[in-house]
């Protein structure tokens, strides 16, 4: 039996409370535009790969323990190791007390979870002269590692892109980040709905209707499917940060 969309949101919302965990509790009042750095310590870490496996040993062949979700907060022990193939693993502790080894490509230590509030050009350094031809799309989940003046150092999902973006393009609020994570998951589902139908369902059933992300999705829902804004949402949903 198919899960109703409202039930879907409720299930993901419960999971999302664990996803954002302590990190959101610490940063609810943080506004990046104020110039304040995210309130995290060196042992805080963020998962930027959905379904990242946690293993009992630092090896791809290690016994599977569990998996963690995109945006989930972890504690980093500082330990790292490589397996026989050269793949690096880091030791982490989860919110339920379980610990294990995760592939380092999915963990960003000393970071805060955030989401892109608009398409943003990536810069090599916090300097307008260092612009690249790459962009991080709207609603992409990112890990913020540091801020400087009007800039944020961001690592995008799967570490596809690492660079600097303008603070004004980043949302760190709990509700906005939650909407971005849950909406991204829904858009990636193969449930028979087309892209426009999924956006409509997300907008109509979101547990956070006041989120700025919901307003933007509403605006995009009435635009042509081929619009740049709609393409940006599709890029984020597919993880295409080109």
Say if residues 141 and 113 touch (Cβ distance below 8 Å). Answer: yes
Give the angle subtended at the CA of 102 by the CAs of 101 and 104, to the nearest 5°: 125
Query: How confident is the model at residue 165, as a pLDDT?
Result: 98
**Domain count within the chain:** 1
Of the ranges 8-12, 26-30, 152-156, the best mean pLDDT one: 152-156
Element (H, E) at 97: none
Say if residues 188 and 70 touch (Cβ distance below 8 Å). Answer: no
What mean pLDDT comes out for the span 3-10?
53
Q: Is residue 5 part of a domain?
A: no
Q: Is residue 135 part of a domain?
A: no
pLDDT above 60 (res 91): yes
Say if residues 118 and 90 touch (Cβ distance below 8 Å). Answer: no
What mean pLDDT comes out for the span 164-190?
93
pLDDT above 70 (res 180): yes
Query: How confident is the model at residue 224, as a pLDDT?
Result: 47
pTM of the prediction? 0.76
Q: Is residue 213 part of a domain?
A: no
How far is C-alpha 32 from the chain's CA centre? 16
Higher pLDDT, 200 or 170: 170
CATH number at residue 64: 2.30.30.40
Higher pLDDT, 18 or 65: 65
Q: Which two tokens stand for residue 37?
A: 């750095």
Domain range for 93 is 44-109
- Beta carbons within 8 Å of 192's beta carbon, 6+ residues apart: none
- A 10 A CB-CB count for 177 gives 26
Digit-coded pLDDT (tens) for 153-168: 999 998 999 999 999 9
Average pLDDT, rounded, for the chain: 82
- Beta carbons within 8 Å of 197's beta carbon, 6+ residues apart: none
Query: How confident is the model at residue 221, as a pLDDT?
Result: 74
Return the DSSP state at 18.
H
Digit-coded pLDDT (tens) for 220-236: 777 645 444 445 555 56
What mean pLDDT comes out for the span 187-195?
89
Return the DSSP state at 121.
E
pLDDT above 60 (res 181): yes
Contacts 24+ apart (CB under 8 A), 122-126: 122/154, 122/161, 122/163, 122/164, 122/165, 123/151, 123/163, 123/164, 123/165, 124/163, 124/164, 125/164, 126/150, 126/151, 126/153, 126/164
Digit-coded pLDDT (tens) for 18-27: 455 434 333 3
Say if residues 196 and 220 touch (Cβ distance below 8 Å). Answer: no
Which of 185, 210, 158, 203 minimizes the C-alpha distance to 11?
185
Query: How confident is the model at residue 5, as a pLDDT?
Result: 52
Report the distance separating Cα 34 and Cα 106, nearest Å. Answer: 29
Return the DSSP state at 118.
S
Query: How confident is the model at residue 20, as a pLDDT?
Result: 53
- A 10 A CB-CB count for 231 gives 16
């Amino acid at each position: 039996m198919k899960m109703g969309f409202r039930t879907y949101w409720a299930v993901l919302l419960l999971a999302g409370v664990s996803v954002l965990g302590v990190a959101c509790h610490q940063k609810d009042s943080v506004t990046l535009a104020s110039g304040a750095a995210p309130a995290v310590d060196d042992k805080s870490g963020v998962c930027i790969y959905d379904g990242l496996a946690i293993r009992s040993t630092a090896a791809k062949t290690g016994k599977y323990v569990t998996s963690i979700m995109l945006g989930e907060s972890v504690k980093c022990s500082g330990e790292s190791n490589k397996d026989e193939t050269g793949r690096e693993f880091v030791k982490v502790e989860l919110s339920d007390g379980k610990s294990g080894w995760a592939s380092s490509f999915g963990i960003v230590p000393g970071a805060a979870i955030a989401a892109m509030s608009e398409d943003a050009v990536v810069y090599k350094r916090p300097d307008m002269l260092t612009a690249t031809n790459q962009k991080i799309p709207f609603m992409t989940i990112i890990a913020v590692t540091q801020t400087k003046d009007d800039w944020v150092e961001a690592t995008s999902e799967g570490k596809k892109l690492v660079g600097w973006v303008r603070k004004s393009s980043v949302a760190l609020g709990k509700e906005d980040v939650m909407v971005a994570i849950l909406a991204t998951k829904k858009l990636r589902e193969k449930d028979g709905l087309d892209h426009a139908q999924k956006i409509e369902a997300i907008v109509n059933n979101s547990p956070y209707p006041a989120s700025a992300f919901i307003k933007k999705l509403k605006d995009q829902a009435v635009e042509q499917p081929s619009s740049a804004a709609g393409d940006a949402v599709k890029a984020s949903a597919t993880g295409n940060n080109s």
